[in-house]
Chain A
């Protein structure tokens, strides 16, 4: 199955892949710090485990980013490979 993650084409070998599994495959360390969009729509965190990806899905992982003084923010979770 071919999908696009953050604009990059990804080939998934497995049959049924959920958003939760994709976060795992993509080695996202802190899923709590990620907001997921599927084809332009927000995916509820509670539905990560039940939302199945489909061919040609456009997935965006959007990361929480704090601001100004960086007081309350942890290590970067961005994967800009």
Chain B
């Protein structure tokens, strides 16, 4: 295939990288990545993956843009308040890179729909805000063999790990079950420094790009945490647990069920 001058110029800074080059850029163009959540984490992931030329990007979020989102969800602008987040994100992604395919899903992820939605994607980015869905993404991706990046942020802290199903520790190897709902205080008490979402989201986007191009070592079997107040980063080695209920030798979770009081139940 003859590459256009515009293509070569747009991606010149990737092509110049020895580890990426023309071949790596072609891999990005052929890749399909699903971003779950068009919020604080999904926003930078969406922008960077679009800019990087990931050919097909899916983005899923049920919500509409609210004024309180704009402090950190940099893919949404003031004019977008009231619009579906996925539409707002899609507009910006295509404004950066009109040649992408952006698929939008204005929906919640549930046991009933997750298999169908994630099928066909090469990599999934978890940028969701609730634990039942984080576990659902883990379980479904492990079952389907789709690599994914877990990400979480709170106040001045962030954590992330990359999971290669069947090869590296999964989220359940570290966090066996969602925390009890009564252990999680109401959201209004928590906050987050906006730029933390960018710090963590760009790490997740980098992992997606590394996975697609095969460059470097993924953040597997490692939980990376940071605290921005002290600006300390810490890597904790994680082992795949033989008794993990989903990726262990004898899995006890073999089909997906929605957790009690999942977001799906609450909002439907």
Binding site for B on A (CB under 8 A): 6-7, 30, 32-33, 35, 37, 40-42, 44-45, 60, 62-76, 78, 80
Shortest CB distance B133–A (Å): 9
Whether B234 lies near A6 (C-beta < 8 A) is: yes
The 9 closest A-B pairs by CB, nearest first: A65-B152, A68-B39, A74-B185, A32-B183, A69-B39, A69-B129, A68-B37, A80-B227, A72-B130
Find out whether the CB atom of A35 lies under 8 angstroms from the CB atom of B176: yes
Within 8 Å by CB of A68, from B129, B180, B190, lies B129
How would residues 199 to 239 of chain B score, 1 for a CB under 8 Å from any chain A CB and 0 otherwise? 00000000000000000000000010001011010101111
Residues in chain A near residue B69, CB distance under 8 A: 69
A51 to chain B, nearest CB (A): 15
Closest to A61 in B: B236
B42 touches A66 (CB 8 A): no
Nearest CB of chain B from residue A40's CB, rounded to whole Å: 5
Q: How far is the CA of A67 from the CA of B50 in the complex (A)?
A: 21
Question: Which residues of A sit under 8 angstroms from B7, Cβ to Cβ?
Answer: none
* Contact of A66 with B173 at beta-carbon distance under 8 Å, contacts A33-B183, A42-B241, A80-B230 already known: no
Docked complex Cα distance between A67 and B239 (Å)? 23
| Interchain Cβ contacts under 8 Å between A and B, 5 examples | A33-B183, A63-B159, A69-B40, A76-B190, A78-B227
With A32-B183, A40-B239 as contacts: A66 and B131 at CB distance below 8 Å: yes
A62 to B39, CA, bound (A): 24
Residues of B within 8 A of A75 (CB): 155, 185, 189-190
Asked if residues B157 and A65 are in contact (CB atoms below 8 Å), the reply is: yes
Distance between Cα atoms of A7 and B225 in the complex (Å): 13
Q: Are B155 and A76 in contact (CB under 8 A)?
A: yes
Residues in B whose Cβ lies below 8 Å from that of A6: 234, 236
Whether B183 contacts A67 by the Cβ 8 Å rule is no
Least distance between A36 CB and chain B CB atoms (Å): 10
Interface 0/1 of B84-128, CB less than 8 Å to A: 000000000000000000000000000000000000000000111
A66 to B77, CA, bound (A): 24
A79 to B73, alpha carbons, bound, how many Å? 27
Query: Which residue of A7, A32, A37, A71 contacts B130 across the interface (Cβ within 8 Å)?
Result: A71
What residue of chain A has the Cβ atom nearest to residue B263's Cβ? A72
Complex CA gap A73/B132 in Å reads 12
User: Most B CB atoms within 10 A — which of A37, A42, A44, A62?
Assistant: A42
- Given A32-B183, A74-B189, A80-B232, A62–B129 Cβ distance below 8 Å? no
A36 to B128, CA, bound (A): 23
Given A42-B174, A42-B241: A70 touches B185 (CB 8 Å cut-off): no
- Decide if B179 touches A69 in the complex (CB within 8 Å): no
Q: Which of B129, B180, B239 contacts A71 (CB 8 A)?
A: B129
By a CB distance below 8 angstroms, the chain B residues around A45 are 176
Q: Check: B74 CB closer than 8 A to any chain A CB.
A: no
Closest Cβ–Cβ distance, residue A63 to chain B (whole Å): 8
Give complex CA distance A78, B239 in Å. 22
| Min C-beta distance of B239 to chain A, whole Å | 5
B238-249 Cβ-contact flags toward A at 8 Å (1 or 0): 110101100000
Please encode chain B, from 57 to 86, with 1 for each CB lying within 8 Å of some chain A CB and 0 for all others: 000000100000100010000000000000
